Structure 1
Amino acid sequence: MKNKIIIVLFIIGIILFGWMNLFYIPAEEKAMEEETLQQLNPETHDFSKVLAYENMYMGNATNNAQLFQSLPLQNYLNGYEQDSKIHLLIVNYKDLEGLPQQHIQKSIIYNTTAAFVLIKNLEQIELRFPTESFFVKRENVERFLGDLEELLDPEVFEEKVQSPLNNAVLEEWIVQYTSI
């Protein structure tokens, strides 16, 4: 009798193990994969996931790196430089070949806005790509969007930054951000 119970429990264990491998684990992996893809896109990125990188000072290089590793274009990063004296962060990117220009422009707007919202004394960001660079100043972003402190609320960030990216004339937005 004892052996029959052990055999039945063993068979139930195998069935449960098989069920988890067939249904539960793949569904969980698929959900994680979908979330990762959403975080790569400025239209679907979840801003609340980067709030942990809010910092008063840009001198924390690890924090800055982790922030940009959590934003769109993260898989194209190619190093960072910073000059704390003039509050400048330089983010280098690899070749973006194959990415649509609109995706790149939306990411530039999204990433620089997020950085200025989260890093309080950051004044300038230069995004360097192999063929061009974009130099964005905090004052331009503030002139365009108003008080950046309000954008700490993910719903406000989505309303004022993320949602308008879908309808905006991106070239005009980039010009506003990068004008001297």
Structure 2
Amino acid sequence: MHLKTLFALIILMVGTPAFAEPPPTEFVMQSLEPTGGKMLRPKSWFYSEGHRGSMYMWTLSREDITGNRPYTTGVRVQTFVGVKKGTGKTAKEFILDFVAAKKKSAQVIHTCAEQDQGLFNRVCLETVEGPHHILYSLFWGSDGMDIAVVSIAGTTKELWETFAPTFQKMGDFELIDMDRFPK
């Protein structure tokens, strides 16, 4: 039996391989409460919030994580307010320490230099960690604003190429609706 025939037979028996899944093409705007931020979410994906004290967390995932179930593919945004009080570090030190620790514990594929984005400064780190491929986008408040943000976009190594364009689209999010706050 030829290899192509064997492969075709296996696909017929077990279905299409996971990496052949098409990427999401339809997106909706997801509000990030209570900050009023906004992020594009694939229409078929799930949304969850998990806030505790001065930490805000939003998860947008392909899998339903109701009841603390795990997910394989998604984006999680964690915002830490009052970093100095909670850790003794500035928000920038907190983020740069996180990056340094990841560089020691994971296979680093790509990094990006610090970028000024107005209210926040950003760095990024793309890694492979066990079976997962992850893109970390990390932010700290400009002008001494004591806020750190960790955005984690990830999936399995096999599904990365399928979902990387989705993660790129979701990476352009607004954390805070500034119109909600008095000027």
TM-score band, normalised by shorter chain: under 0.3
- Which one has a larger percent strand, Structure 1 or Structure 2? 2
Structure with max Cα Rg: 1
- Which one has a larger percent helix, Structure 1 or Structure 2? 1
Provide the TM-score with structure 2 as the length reference: 0.25
Provide the TM-score with structure 1 as the length reference: 0.25
